[in-house]
Amino acid sequence: MCGIVGYVGKRDAAPVLVEGLHRLEYRGYDSAGLAVLHRGRLQVTKTAGRVQDLRDKLKSNTKATLGIGHTRWATHGEPNEINAHPHTDTAGRIAVVHNGIIENAEHLRAQLQGNGVRLVSDTDTEPLAHMIAAELAAAEASTGDADGADTVGVSLEEAVMRTLRHVEGAYGLVVLDTKHPDQLVVARNGSPIVLGLGEDEMFVASDVAALVRYTRQVIYLEDGEVATIRATDYRTTMLNGGQANKQVRTPTTVDADADDYDLGTYQDYMRKEIHEQPDALRRALLGRLDDRFATARLGGINLDARDLRNIRQIKFLGCGSAYYAGQMGAMIIEELARIPADAEPASEFRYRSPVVDPDTLYVAVSQSGETSDTLMAVQELKRKGGQVIGAVNVVGSAIGRECGRGIFLHAGPEVAVASTKALTNMAVSFALLGLLLGRVRDLSAASGHRIISGLRNLPEQVNKILHNEEEIATIAHRFAQAEHMFYIGRVRGWPVAREGAQKLKEISYVHAEAYQAGELKHGPLALIHRDMPSVVIIPSDDLVAKNVSTIEQIKARGGPVIALASAEIPEGLADAVIKVPRAEPELEPILLNVPLQILAYHTAAKLGRDIDKPRNLAKSVTVE
Ligand code: G6P
């Protein structure tokens, strides 16, 4: 998804902006650009390629100290140089970078064209530059302030606010005015903007990843908030609140540093993040296991024993992998706490006028904490009086703040588009929630202890799986030419199959479909033949014999089988076997998922895919 950076200070702005954009590349983009103020004039550089092309194109002698930059993920208009941001007004006074979608863009474009303005791009962003310039010109004309210096009512901020009152839709934006060379104006409505506070310099970005190299002191803008930032100060105000509400907010410290975003010895982030899982798991468990009462400690959810006992149902809401993690969570919680639990895609939930039950605990699941569909579902829930907690990885993100309470995932920054360590930490966090809910109900202390020790074993067991990477890679290479694949599971294996198929299709573009094993014979069996491999998931549960018979059914029809098994299965039954260490049965989905990440990774690697930035996908989808 699009990325924004901005800088005002003493440094050479262009390299700072390029570095920031480079840090945002992981979000997915198709073009990039930046604008700096050089000797009173805008200098705009754009490319329909990568940030590296932008770096190559830049003139080295700018020495500008004010600028804005952008990586674009096309929505309005194809990805080309003209449509890349920043966008400017006709005179080249104003430059704007924007994330999100302006919904009344067509209307704004038509209005401007009606007034004789020539629009050069097809974007929904360009109108903003013309409108802000027009607001400034009109205000300056009426005060006779031709050089545009601040006078009462003619600030850049005021012009931006006046413009935004005509704008419908979602935005995070940064505005540069050549006649206000000491400042940038930023605004947020539905698309994240974070300010980074340095010493005599100020940064702005859509994601802290762009900032951590320079500062860890940040301020997350709220929806409807506008700010003017200068090298040494900033003020925020509400779009609808007027000047009286101006405030200086207390910064928060980001829980990550530049190293977390470095590849180190790895070639790509996905593999690095797969290998970080043992550590990520340890962090998710840290301080949360209570040996004395054989339960979990989750202070952030803010629910006491009575509240926990009153919960009649758990419902997870998320998108993509976060939804599948919710499905794993629902499975684990039903088992540990015997409370009905399920998961639903957040987008479905918000569009279907759901019945919101006050005794249901809703859990909004999101790595980024910025996914628009999930955020909207939370807002809808709150409107209807539902109780909702967040399960997010990025502290300070919109969903975390909107929920106000929840479970932080502590996976550390996740850069690759395909979620691995965050997903694992989601599932383990839900096991903790299940343990906590179970222990205020029927789960015995002995079972609680068993789960606690099972959780403690997970990091080492994941390590064992990682040691097996080469073997899994060999299997991946053997089947990499398949055009389609089935992922088959039942009960505990079912959410694992769904997430496994998701991982494969996301990064390798091999068509993968998950099916419940029992459903095979009701349709999909017709597709089984020698070019259609199936990954069959076999946890060590009561259903091993059934899963073995599923493999036999597939084999009988000539379909190759990769068995992913923590259980013992007959020798020679499957064409390939990936062995997984045995965990406590309820926790097995967490472990079984890891080899499927590795399988997908090595399939994609063999096929030469851009693993961290799969085509058409973005790390967090902050627009509809
Ligand atoms: C995008 C990504 C998925 C991810 C989903 C949810 O669609 O491509 O990999 O699972 O967003 O992201 P979130 O940040 O809310 O967990």
Pair 193, 61 in one domain: yes
Task: Work out which ligand 1 atom sits closest to the CA atom of 321.
Answer: 10
* pLDDT at site 152: 45
pLDDT class for 622, splitting at 50, 70, 90? Answer: confident
Mean of pLDDT over the chain: 93
Residue from 371, 610, 623 to probe ligand 1 pocket by mutation (most atoms less than 8 Å from CB): 371
From residue 477, alpha-carbon distances to 110, 467, 482, 509, 611 in Å are 54, 17, 10, 15, 15
Please indicate, yes or no, whether residues 349 and 291 belong to a single structural domain of this protein: yes
**Cβ of 597 below 6 Å from ligand 1:** no
Region for 181 from its dihedrals, namely left if φ exceeds 0, alpha if ψ lies in -120 to 50, beta otherwise: alpha
| Sequence-distant contacts of 387-390: CB under 8 A, at least 24 apart | 387/358, 387/360, 387/361, 387/362, 388/361, 388/362, 388/363, 388/364, 389/300, 389/301, 389/302, 389/303, 389/361, 389/362, 389/363, 389/364, 390/363, 390/364, 390/366
Share above pLDDT 70 across residues of the chain, in percent, rounded to a whole number = 96
Assess whether pLDDT exceeds 60 at residue 243. Answer: no
For residue 14, the model assigns a pLDDT of 94
- In 246-400, DSSP assigns E strands to 252-253, 289-290, 295-296, 313-318, 341-345, 360-366, 387-392
Task: Match 């058409």 to its residue by tokens.
Answer: 616
CB pairs under 8 A, 24+ apart, for 253-257? Answer: 253/216, 253/217, 253/218, 254/208, 254/211, 254/212, 254/216, 254/217, 254/218, 254/395, 254/396, 255/395, 256/208, 256/212, 256/216, 256/412, 256/413, 257/212, 257/216
Same domain as 599, residue 521: yes
For residue 79, give the DSSP letter.
S
Does 622 reside within a domain? Answer: no
* Per-residue pLDDT tens digits for 515-559: 999 999 899 999 999 999 999 999 999 999 999 999 999 999 999
User: Which protein residue has the closest C-alpha to ligand 1 atom 15?
Assistant: 366
Q: Which amino acid is at 518?
A: G
By mean pLDDT, which of 151-155, 176-180, 316-320, 342-346 is the weakest? 151-155
What pLDDT does residue 247 have? 73
Q: How far is the CA of 462 from the centre of ligand 1 (A)?
A: 23
- Ligand 1 atom 4: residue of nearest CA: 320
pLDDT value at position 61? Answer: 65
The stretch 213-219 carries a mean pLDDT of 93
User: Is 281 found in the same domain as 195?
Assistant: no
| Average pLDDT of the segment spanning 399-414 | 94
| Ligand 1 atom 3: residue of nearest CA | 320
Q: Give the 3-state secondary structure of residue 22.
A: helix
Indicate the residue among 261, 279, 304 that finishes a domain: 261
Catalytic residue among 46, 503, 613, 619: 619
**What's the whole-model pTM score?**
0.84
Question: What pLDDT sits at residue 193?
Answer: 94
Mutate to test the pocket of ligand 1, among 29, 206, 321, 373 (most ligand atoms within 8 A of CB): 321
- CB atoms < 10 A from the CB of 410, how many? 22
**Nearest alpha carbon to residue 487 among 502, 472, 470:** 502
270, 255: one domain = no
pLDDT average, residue stretch 34-47: 94
Strand-pairing partners, residue 361, are 314, 387
Q: Is 622 in the pocket of ligand 1 (CB under 6 A)?
A: no
Q: Do 482 and 431 have their domain in common?
A: no
**215 and 5 Cβ atoms separated by less than 8 Å:** no
pLDDT digits (tens, 9 = 90+) for 357-372: 999 999 999 999 999 9
CA 603 to chain centre: 23
| Domain of 360, in residue numbers | 264-466
Instruction: Classify strands 360-366 and 387-392 as parallel, antiparallel or unpaired.
Output: parallel
pLDDT of 10 above 50? yes
Which CATH number fits the domain that encloses residue 483?
A: 3.40.50.10490
Q: Are strands 94-99 and 171-177 parallel, antiparallel or unpaired?
A: antiparallel
- Boundary of a domain, candidates 232, 261, 290: 261
Ligand 1 nearest atom to the CA of residue 368, by list position: 14
**Mean of the pLDDT values across residues 258-284?**
93
Residue 617 located in a structural domain = no
State phi, psi for 587 to the nearest 5 degrees: -95, -5
| Separation of alpha carbons 459 and 286, rounded Å | 12
Distance between CA atoms of residues 287 and 130, nearest Å: 54
Tell me the one-letter amino acid at 146.
Answer: A
Lowest mean pLDDT among 119-128, 243-252, 378-387, 392-401: 243-252
Q: What residue spans of 338-444 are helical by DSSP H?
A: 346-351, 372-383, 398-403, 421-439
**Would you state the pLDDT for residue 245?**
61
Q: What is the mean pLDDT of residues 310-338?
A: 98
The predicted pLDDT at position 145 comes to: 60
Q: State pLDDT tens for residues 139-175.
A: 888 876 655 554 444 699 999 999 999 999 989 999 9
Q: How many domains does the chain have?
A: 3
CA distance 528 to 517: 13
Expressed in angstroms and rounded, the spacing between residue 193 Cα and the centre of ligand 1 is 19
Same domain for 603 and 557, yes or no, is yes
247 and 271 together in one domain: no
Section 225-243 average pLDDT: 88
Residue nearest atom 11 of ligand 1, based on CA coordinates: 620
The stretch 185-199 carries a mean pLDDT of 94
Axis crossing angle, helix 277-285 with helix 421-439, rounded to the nearest 10: 30
Tokens of 79: 């990805």
Closest CA to 585 of 451, 487, 463: 451
Element (H, E) at 43: strand 41-47
In a domain, 332, yes or no: yes
Return the HEC string of 81-100. CCCCCCEECCCCCEEEEEEC
Strand order in the sheet with 202-205: 41-47, 31-38, 66-72, 3-8, 202-205, 194-197, 217-220, 252-253
Cβ–Cβ under 8 Å, residues 194 and 394: no
Given a cut of 90, is residue 115 above it in pLDDT? yes
Known active-site residue 319: no
Q: Separation of 24 CA from ligand 1 center, angstroms?
A: 16
pLDDT value at residue 151: 47
Tell which residue, 60, 58, 66, has the closest CA to residue 95: 66
Mean pLDDT of 463-482: 97
Contact 2, 70 (CB under 8 A): yes
What tokens does 188 get? 């947020």
Please check whether residues 218 and 97 belong to one and the same domain: yes
Q: In angstroms, what is the span from residue 195 Cα to ligand 1's centroid?
A: 24
Ligand 1: which atom is nearest the Cα of residue 392? 16
pLDDT of residue 395: 85
Inside any domain, residue 530: yes
d(CA 191, CA 124): 15
* pLDDT at site 74: 82
* Encoded tokens for 367: 């790595």
| Best residue among 317, 397, 506, 620 to mutate for probing ligand 1, ranked by most atoms within 8 Å of CB | 620
Domain-embedded: residue 40 = yes
The percentage of the chain sitting over the pLDDT mark of 90, rounded to a whole number, equals 82
Does one domain contain both 561 and 574? yes
Does 235 lie in the same domain as 287? no
Active site residue 546: no
Instruction: Kindly report, residue by residue over 559-612, the tens digit of the pLDDT.
Output: 999 999 999 999 999 999 999 999 999 999 999 999 999 999 999 999 999 999
Task: From 261, 281, 313, give the residue that closes a domain.
Answer: 261
How far, in Å, CA of 542 to CA of 342, rounded?
22
Residue among 50, 46, 94, 92 nearest 69 (CA): 46
| CA 617 to ligand 1 center in whole angstroms | 9
Q: List the structure tokens of 556.
A: 């009988």
**Residue minimizing CA distance to atom 7 of ligand 1:** 320
Which pair of structure tokens corresponds to residue 481? 């030419």
Q: Are 165 and 204 found together in one domain?
A: yes
240 confidence band (pLDDT: 50, 70, 90): confident
pLDDT of residue 93: 97
User: What average pLDDT score do residues 402-413 get?
Assistant: 95
Question: Which residue's C-alpha comes closest to atom 5 of ligand 1?
Answer: 320
Asked whether residue 199 is domain-assigned, the answer is yes
